[in-house]
């Protein structure tokens, strides 16, 4: 059986955030075909996984030539583990998972470099640019702009040294084609629980927002939407249910600032909450790429209400399979309009489920991606 090396930023293998779900399922599919060696930041008893020391300090990125994402993940032990693994094994493919680890391409020499594939999660410099644009604190805005410039420089410079790279959506593929010799589409699949039916008539007027709020951009997006609800002069006919990873400070911010929110942090599973929700929100003015929460919504029959551009790559038809608006205020109006119309909600959710049920198989998606690497 051919060997492959998968180098990832993961600190654990819990499927509790979209980027982790993406990486873990790629590893899972590769293990069906190859003998997979994994180098990561996680401690694990599996014999094919080497763990390195903890990450570097995020604060150090302020004084580094590298952007935050890379600087916080650079250490000599990780570099040594990669060099030794490449010297001791003949790998068919070497996968560098996420921009955070793209710096390691400089440590992969000779023939190994010609077999290195970059697993992209996003167009990183655009994400930094959006964060800078929306930040209101002047000092943070300056820091984010500096980080954007460093990200732009290193993303362009490092990607060109890989054999090929993946793209999480068609939009990302088009943008990455300007940076990489070869780009192959690798959309996320879905392996979670699903519902065959949802009784909208019997549900409370609950709108759910699922996310991992340990990321700055995700917190910024949620706060912007909540502020829009807070400031609207129109009656809001729904309660907002927020479910996902967050630290205590952000949890307290939400609880103290927004009376209309019900917050459930760090839950074991989002499925029980999705079953009880009438609608799901995707509001991502900051960030990019494919939103894995869209698949959670689709397969639990939760109609999607999205900000324009936030539902890239899913392949749903606007106005038929999901509702799209240009601003938070318009999104709130649409939710008010549809929340008491169970038949319309059922039609939207059924259309999205039918369009997606055969498409998002992890085995098919990873298999097609690997075929393009030959």
pLDDT tens series, the chain, 374 aa:
899 999 998 888 888 788 889 999 999 999 999 999 999 887 665 656 776 665 555 566 677 899 988 888 888 888 888 998 988 889 999 999 999 999 999 888 766 767 899 999 988 888 888 778 777 788 888 888 999 999 999 999 999 889 899 999 888 899 999 888 899 999 999 988 899 899 999 999 999 999 989 888 889 899 999 999 999 888 899 999 999 999 999 999 999 999 999 999 999 899 999 999 999 999 987 655 667 889 999 999 999 999 998 887 788 899 999 999 999 999 999 999 999 999 999 999 999 999 888 788 899 999 999 999 87
The answer to whether residue 311 sits within a structural domain is yes
How far apart, in whole angstroms, are the C-alpha atoms of residue 205 and residue 195?
Answer: 19
How far apart, in whole angstroms, are the C-alpha atoms of residue 268 and residue 106?
Answer: 38
Same domain for 295 and 175, yes or no, is no
DSSP conformation class of 1: -
Helix (H) or strand (E) holding 231: helix 216-231
How far apart, in whole angstroms, are the C-alpha atoms of residue 19 and residue 175?
Answer: 20
Same domain for 151 and 259, yes or no, is no
Same domain for 42 and 145, yes or no, is yes
Contact (Cβ atoms closer than 8 angstroms) between residue 301 and residue 277: no
Orientation angle between helical segments 328-338 and 216-231, nearest 10 degrees: 70
- Burial-class residue 107 by CB neighbours within 10 Å (0-12, 13-18, 19+): middle
Helix (H) or strand (E) holding 371: helix 362-371
Same domain for 19 and 119, yes or no, is yes
Structural tokens at position 47 = 């014999």
Same domain for 179 and 237, yes or no, is no
How far apart, in whole angstroms, are the C-alpha atoms of residue 212 and residue 209?
Answer: 10
Same domain for 35 and 177, yes or no, is yes
Phi-psi region of 250 (alpha: psi -120 to 50; beta: other; left: phi over 0): alpha
How far apart, in Å, are the Cα atoms of 53 and each of 72, 73, 370? Answer: 12, 10, 31
- Count the domains in the chain: 2
End-to-end CA distance of the chain: 16
For residue 5, the cross-strand partners are 37, 94
Count other C-beta atoms under 10 Å from residue 237's C-beta: 14
Same domain for 209 and 119, yes or no, is no
Write down the pTM of the prediction: 0.80
- Burial-class residue 25 by CB neighbours within 10 Å (0-12, 13-18, 19+): buried
How far apart, in whole angstroms, are the C-alpha atoms of residue 242 and residue 21?
Answer: 19
Same domain for 175 and 300, yes or no, is no
Give the domain CATH number at 180: 3.40.50.2000
Same domain for 213 and 135, yes or no, is no
Count other C-beta atoms under 10 Å from residue 87's C-beta: 10
pLDDT at 126: 84
By residue range, what is the domain housing residue 343?
A: 200-356
pLDDT at 29: 96
The answer to whether residue 369 sits within a structural domain is no
Same domain for 107 and 215, yes or no, is no
pLDDT at 244: 93
Count other C-beta atoms under 10 Å from residue 249's C-beta: 8
């Amino acid at each position: 059986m051919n060997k492959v090396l998968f180098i990832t930023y993961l600190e654990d293998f819990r499927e509790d955030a979209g980027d982790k779900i993406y990486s873990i399922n790629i590893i899972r599919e590769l293990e069906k075909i190859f003998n997979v060696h994994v180098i990561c930041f996680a401690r694990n008893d599996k014999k094919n996984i080497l763990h390195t020391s903890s990450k570097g300090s995020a604060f150090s990125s302020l004084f580094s030539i590298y952007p935050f994402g890379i600087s916080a993940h650079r250490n000599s032990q990780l570099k040594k583990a990669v060099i030794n693994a490449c010297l001791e094994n003949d790998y068919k493919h070497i996968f560098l998972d996420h921009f955070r680890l793209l710096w390691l391409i400089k440590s992969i020499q000779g023939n190994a470099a010609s077999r290195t594939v970059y697993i992209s999660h996003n167009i990183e410099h655009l994400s930094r640019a959006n964060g800078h644009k929306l930040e209101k604190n002047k000092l943070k805005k300056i820091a984010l702009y500096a980080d954007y410039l460093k990200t732009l420089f290193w993303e362009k410079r490092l990607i060109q040294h890989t054999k090929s790279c993946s793209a999480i959506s068609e939009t990302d593929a088009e943008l990455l084609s300007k940076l990489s010799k070869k780009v192959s589409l690798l959309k996320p699949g879905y392996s979670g629980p699903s519902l065959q039916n949802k009784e909208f008539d019997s549900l409370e007027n609950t709108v759910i927002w699922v996310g991992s709020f340990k990321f700055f951009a995700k917190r910024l997006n949620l706060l912007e939407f909540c502020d829009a609800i807070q400031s609207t002069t129109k009656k809001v006919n729904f309660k907002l249910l927020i479910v996902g990873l967050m630290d205590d400070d952000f949890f307290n911010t939400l609880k103290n600032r927004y009376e209309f929110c019900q917050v459930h942090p760090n839950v074991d599973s989002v499925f029980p909450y999705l079953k009880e929700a009438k609608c799901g929100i995707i509001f991502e003015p900051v960030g990019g790429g494919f939103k894995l929460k869209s698949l959670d919504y689709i397969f639990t029959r939760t109609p999607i209400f999205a900000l324009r551009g936030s539902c890239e790559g899913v392949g749903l038809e606007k106005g038929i399979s999901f509702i799209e608006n240009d601003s938070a205020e318009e999104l709130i109006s649409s939710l008010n309009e549809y929340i008491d119309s169970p038949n319309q909600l059922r039609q939207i959710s059924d259309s999205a489920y039918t369009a997606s049920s055969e498409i998002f198989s992890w085995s098919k998606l990873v298999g097609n991606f690997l075929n393009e690497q030959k």
